[in-house]
Amino acid sequence: MPTSSDWNIIGALGSIIQAIATVVLLIVAWLQLKSIKDENKLSRTLDVCDRYDLDPILDRSLRDLRSAEDTGLLRTKEADRMHLHASVTTVLNYLDSIAVGIHQGLYIEALVKDHLKVIVIKHVNDYLTDKDVAKSVNIKVDNYRQVIDMAARWGQDPLAFKKN
């Protein structure tokens, strides 16, 4: 027959087991929350990368800029500055929002880089490092410092896209 001290030991062991189970449950819950957070970050990153191909406003701006580039309109003084300003600003604001999101930890930089490296470097070269184009379409280069820095970081690779 168990004595009262035996029951105290059994009770203490039960409390210890309960505490261990609670700690294990907390660890499992923390790991699940971390996994959900990582999955959300991955999903947000892929969504923002897909926007380049799927967003109709961005697509219209890219088509307008491509047409202006093909016809030479982008580099002439007769350029429809307001129309091209809006198109360039739309593209650069999209890229800048990605750069800001990376800086704030909302997006996975390596994944964005895999998807958009060539695109980012090309647009930065075309509209920000080319001072004539930036001036022609009235773009304030300093407003896009984060995307310029991102392109510079990504452009250190010897295989980086280089403007011809």
Give residue 157's pLDDT: 53
Does residue 13 carry a pLDDT above 50? yes
Does residue 154 carry a pLDDT above 80? yes
Question: Which of 10-24, 93-107, 130-144 comes out lowest in average pLDDT?
Answer: 130-144
Mean pLDDT of the chain: 88
This prediction's pTM: 0.77
**By percentage, how much of the chain surpasses pLDDT 70?**
90
Give residue 78's pLDDT: 57
Give residue 159's pLDDT: 47
Sequence ranges of the domains in the chain: 4-154
95 with 131: CB under 8 angstroms?
no
26-36 core/surface letters (b: 16 or more CB in 10 A; e: else): eeeeeeeeeee
Tokens at 139, concatenated = 């773009």
Question: Which of 25-29, 79-83, 136-140 comes out lowest in average pLDDT?
Answer: 79-83
DSSP state letter for 127: I
Give residue 163's pLDDT: 47
